[in-house]
Structure 1
């Protein structure tokens, strides 16, 4: 993908001035939160918690801003102050549950959610925010089905309490959308728009739904409708930019135009937010999603130099550096992230990139262990199995590589290829031959290898290399040339047939492989069939392909020192 390099980044570090002129009502603060103007909202809410210190809602929405910015400790402090003002503040208990989820404290989250619902009374807002809390995930992560179902269940209860809460319905639609339940999501968004036609969030949410279905034209129309309601509604531009990126990946003819449009829309989004460090982090989220690692590395590097930066900038710097093959910088950044971040902030993807960076830096064994840890935390990252197997194979740890490729085959899903079976088989085969050179070898390795090669020949009968390796495996069963059985014979014959079907080989490697096959057949006829004519014929063909083959030279020497066949 062409990198999104046209988004201006120089001004991102600037903060909007004039916060003292912000309107000081809770309604305006909530509107700023919805527009993702978090610094503006925070300034307003901090003022409200002083001028209206007896209203627990002010503390909740201040805490919610911290939740949106991933500052769980600051959020908890605000929620607890809200509860101190009103011990029965359902919203603040919902907030504490959300903070507990960020801290990966599931028990604490459940207890606080239950308390929030018990105190909710006739208000649907606690239900809404409990539902939103269940949908909180790290950038790029997916909502787990169990969390989505929990959100849907509590939001449905909130809908009974107040069927006319448009914001709750939008959250309900988001929960359905996270599980690709498009009809249910559309109905929820449609109901929200009917109840509140001037709510741009409902239009944006519907646009995202169409984006998921690759219905990009209708998606754009929804964003345009949202901006017709509020021309300064930043999230519409953000989602429009992300839709453009997705559009560019599905329609090559539109790719260049849509990438440029995405850059323009995201630049507009940034201009409508408060251009804080958090906005830049959101920009990082976008660049990560868009796969623009070149710009992401630049933005993250600049962020990491700021004294008040979010430590997550090091995560983005590490990810981008790896993708840009800047392994040293990436490993330094990832180590910094692991040092600066609280353990509860580390996600499986971090271990995934740490392992890749360690391997990229030559720390293969350490990297493999880190990748395995990533898999214990998230087994859905099936491509990691192949990365581990490939590394082991490149280190010539063949038996371990064979086991690893077997794991790829068992757990890799749709990404498994016949080449994985080939690597599994050759891993076990080379592992056996390595043992053989060292002494006693485990013949079970040959059985495993043959099984992998056999699968290839069943699925792709014209794959010559699979027959070649089946021949190698079975050749070891004929080690005693005085009692040869011919186990490898049909596989060498098939290998020769498939190879010659492509025409006379020109490369030396293929010629040497053919010579080996003919030598085996020559040996078979010489010692098993006692047919010197056929033996000579095969040895002659072997010599035609590789006159330097030692067994060919030895055969003709046995015939009386003749240098050429008849």
Structure 2
């Protein structure tokens, strides 16, 4: 019995050491995830699911890495394994809820999240990851904040949860609440680089770039190898560049260097490089983006379809339309509807239009608007394409949609092109009189809005539209008369007319000459107006015809 007791006593430190190794290894994996060293974390966690196969946490964190790397199918398989090991694994139900959200399965997400919370007990960690799952889509920040607040009630000293609560409030534009949450996290863990970086992000969105940089430097003082600090610093450089043109060149350059430091501190995984691609896309550095995705395609093209999305975006911006079309077709064909975002349809439409497939391209631009109604400016893009293809009535309808829904992006020139489109779209043979009414309305709007600084062409085209309403010159009504007269008044008030205005003035005097001749039966007045028209444009056919009838082109 004594020998058995000795053996048991001797084995106890080994058992404790094994437990410590497991705990430390899982902790290291979680630190690697926080530092965005996903390949490193994945390798460690795969090992843990083999050596500690009964621990459901190992499966959850491995699955979460897959979520962060945008591999929802792999994540789902691992979370399911975790639940098989422990049917009451709150974390793995939170993971399944995250997968369901990525699959746009709202009912499945709610069911799994509810299960996770019901099994959480006194642990705040399931609340943390349900909140993070909601934050995979920033539009769900309110739902994230609600569940994270419940997690805080369970454990007010969970620093990671407090950081995510701050992030949710930041997205809700509740800056004071966000800062409070970050400060609370730092009270719990003064060496939380994540909380310090999060404060930097908060200052970035307040456009306090100097304070933002100070926070990143503070985070790097805590942990010089904390890659996310450099990534957020790079994003701050980019926002700074957009907000301060004088600093733009220097800050974009600094941002690229900071992002390279981020890559050097992560594991240069495909996922880290894809985040760099995200940055290059936001920076508008399309040549660098196309080069980066070309390299990524060689090493991970078969496993990461997002590479083809960015290949298409960059190639389009670089006017390499065949490469753009090939990349987008591959992405759209294989990604599945659930992974396609409105911007994909936007680029697909633009690529198709640039490649000569206008009808299909326009339909895809409309699809982009349908999926994201904030993209109303695309109506202007559609209208411009239709106008260039001389599909005028359709162009007018598209401009009309834009002028109604485009908000502050709408300019008077958009109303002008709306009017032009309908004007050119009128076909007397088709009898589509309604388009003349729409054209007249567009030009009328411009006239109303430019009362103090008149826009001459609005009067000229409104006159032309109304002249089209005249069915018989011999029974002229004079619909266009006040607009031609106003056009003459506005143009002549500006001084000597240029060549373009001379043409317009000649046209106006010809109309007034015809009105005098056929409506008022005043030959002298008609001759006066035609004479003015001839002085401005001697080649005007109506002028030549009028004076020819009077006894020769000279008018004698």
Report the TM-score, using the length of structure 2 for normalisation.
0.93
2:393 is equivalent to residue 403 of structure 1: no
| 1:22 shift after superposition | 13
Q: Structure 2 matches for 1:125-164, cutoff 5 A? A: 125-137=125-137, 143-144=138-139, 147-164=140-157
Structure 1 range deviating more: 404-413 or 217-226 = 404-413
| 1:179 shift after superposition | 2.5
Q: Secondary structure at the match of 2:111?
A: helix
| 1:530 shift after superposition | 2.5
Which residue does 1:37 correspond to in 2? 37
Which residue does 2:48 correspond to in 1? 48
| 1:479 shift after superposition | 3.1
Which residue does 1:452 correspond to in 2? 442
| 1:275 shift after superposition | 0.8
Change (3 A) 1:88 1:23: closer
| 1:124 shift after superposition | 0.6
Superposed CA offset, 1:342-368 (max 9, x none): 332211211111111001111000101
Runs of 4+ in 1 over 4 A off after TM superposition: 21-24
**In 1, Cα distance between equivalents of 2:430 and 2:303:** 59
**In 2, Cα distance between equivalents of 1:382 and 1:200:** 40
Q: Secondary structure at the match of 2:156?
A: coil
| 1:33 shift after superposition | 0.2
Superposed CA offset, 1:7-50 (max 9, x none): xxxxxxxxxxxxxx999611111000000000000011111111
Verify the 8 A CA contact 1:24 1:44 in the aligned structure 2. Answer: no
| 1:483 shift after superposition | 2.3
Q: Structure 2 matches for 1:55-204, cutoff 5 A? A: 55-137=55-137, 143-144=138-139, 147-204=140-197
Which residue does 1:325 correspond to in 2? 319
**In 1, Cα distance between equivalents of 2:553 and 2:203:** 79
Superposed CA offset, 1:43-77 (max 9, x none): 11111111111111111000000000000011111
Structure 1 range deviating more: 169-178 or 57-66 = 169-178
Structure with larger Rg: 2
Which residue does 2:498 correspond to in 1? 506
Verify the 8 A CA contact 2:548 2:555 in the aligned structure 1. Answer: no
Highest relative contact order (Cα 8 Å, sep 6+), 1 or 2?
A: 1
Report the TM-score, using the length of structure 1 for normalisation.
0.91
Which residue does 2:267 correspond to in 1? 274
Q: Secondary structure at the match of 2:238?
A: helix
Q: Structure 2 matches for 1:306-317, cutoff 5 A? A: 306-307=299-300, 309-317=303-311
Verify the 8 A CA contact 1:518 1:539 in the aligned structure 2. Answer: yes
Change (3 A) 1:22 1:84: closer
| 1:254 shift after superposition | 1.4
**In 2, Cα distance between equivalents of 1:239 and 1:401:** 43
Give the alignment's Cα RMSD to 1 decimal. 1.7
**In 1, Cα distance between equivalents of 2:282 and 2:554:** 67
Superposed CA offset, 1:432-486 (max 9, x none): 1xx22xx241222111111111000001131111111110111123332222222
**In 2, Cα distance between equivalents of 1:478 and 1:151:** 64
**In 2, Cα distance between equivalents of 1:421 and 1:260:** 40
| 1:506 shift after superposition | 3.4
Which residue does 1:227 correspond to in 2? 220
Which residue does 2:200 correspond to in 1? 207
Verify the 8 A CA contact 2:142 2:172 in the aligned structure 1. Answer: no
| 1:562 shift after superposition | 5.3
**In 2, Cα distance between equivalents of 1:322 and 1:276:** 26
Which residue does 1:518 correspond to in 2? 509
Structure 2, unaligned runs of 5 or more: 1-20
Superposed CA offset, 1:366-394 (max 9, x none): 10111112222221212211111111111
Q: How many residues align?
A: 533
| 1:492 shift after superposition | 0.8
Verify the 8 A CA contact 1:49 1:59 in the aligned structure 2. Answer: yes
| 1:239 shift after superposition | 0.4
Change (3 A) 1:181 1:269: same
Structure 1, unaligned runs of 5 or more: 1-20, 138-142
Which residue does 2:482 correspond to in 1? 490
Structure 1 range deviating more: 316-325 or 555-564 = 555-564
